[in-house]
Chain A
Amino acid sequence: MSVLGPGTGLRLGDVGVLLAGTACVAGLTLWSWGGGPGNTAVIRAAGQVVETTALTRTHTFSIGGPLGITQVEIQPGRARIAVDPSPRQLCVKQGWLTQAGQVALCLPNQVSLEIRGRNTTYDTLGY
């Protein structure tokens, strides 16, 4: 029972084994490299933690820095830098952060947003 033509010789079960193998690889990758879904957002300004909040409800924090106000938007399961006065907008372009260990740094304004899960990826972050 060849499903992809006689040339490849792939049978139905082979496709199943390949799919299972791919799922196994994907699972292993997530398990060993991904930090898992995050559940806490830690916001720092000038290296000091100013907010630690659970990713449970929609909320917006406004953090003051040397250049102006950085707005951090929290939603269930994710968080992002919504507005930042930095010239290149790198941390804003990072978009939504969902995985534990992900960090958005707004260096010019000295604000950082870090997502944490059950296990913290870094002991500390400093400028």
Chain B
Amino acid sequence: MTRSVIELPVHAEDRRIARLAALAIGLTLAEAALPSPIPGVKPGLANIVILLVLLQHGWRAAAWVSALRVLAGGLLFGSLFAPGFWLSAAGALASLLVLALARHLPPAFFGPVSLSVLAAFGHIGGQLALAGWWLLPAAALIKLLPVFATAALIFGTVNGIIVTRVLAASTSDRRQSAPCTPP
């Protein structure tokens, strides 16, 4: 074994972020194959991963996974630094900022569905804000707002329910090996 001069220590958290980012990128690619009536109306399946990371490993990890997803997605689609990439980045950034605030909501009342819906509105809000400022006349976007908002509400709800299910499944797996504690 040769000793390398430059050492880049890889921590367990790095590996975890890389693994989760790969999962998010995979979902982004799979989603691109789905036909969509309007560009921009997508289920946002990668947000399921971002939300799970947020709830299990914190906001920093979620931001890393999200940034890696946007960057690698841009590389894989060949749209790095093209308008589509910046729209994706603006959506991801706005969604992360919304989540940074929304995760402080009391968890007794606000579950993953709330976070998911708020993040979805943040996502579409960030994208439309950039598109209106940079790409399209705002008047054309205003007519499309209800379509995007409806999609955000529906897909945000569905993704949130999926996150709830996944979390419930992972905690019940853990409970089977531990003694059950009454609430």
Contact = CB atoms under 8 A, between A and B. Distances in A.
Interface of A is mostly: helix
A89 B160 CA distance: 49
B144 to A, nearest CB: 8
Given A1-B109, A8-B164, A18 B142 contact: no
Interface residues of B, number: 27
A83 interface: no
A11 B153 contact: no
Given A1-B109, A9-B165, A12-B109, A28 B118 contact: no
Contact of A11 (B111, B145, B152, B156): B111
Contact of A25 (B110, B153, B165): B153
A32 B114 contact: no
Given A21-B153, A25-B146, A25-B149, A13 B109 contact: yes
A22 interface: yes
B145 A13 contact: no
B156 A13 contact: no
Interface in B131-154: 142-143, 145-146, 149-150, 152-153
Interface residues of A, number: 19
Contacts of A50: none
B95 to A, nearest CB: 15
Given A13-B114, A18-B113, A28 B146 contact: yes
A28 B149 contact: yes
A28 B108 CA distance: 30
Nearest to B113: A14
Interface of B is mostly: helix
B88 to A, nearest CB: 22
A24 B121 CA distance: 10
B129 to A, nearest CB: 14
Interface string B104-121: 011011111110011001
Interface string B52-71: 00000000000000000000
Contact of B111 (A9, A21, A22, A33): A9
Q: Which of B143, B149, B152: most chain A Cβ within 10 A?
A: B149
6 contacts: A1-B108, A9-B112, A10-B113, A11-B113, A18-B153, A22-B153
Interface of B: 105-106, 108-114, 117-118, 121, 142-143, 145-146, 149-150, 152-153, 156-157, 160-161, 164-165, 168
Given A1-B108, A12-B109, 4 more contacts: A9-B111, A13-B109, A28-B145, A29-B146
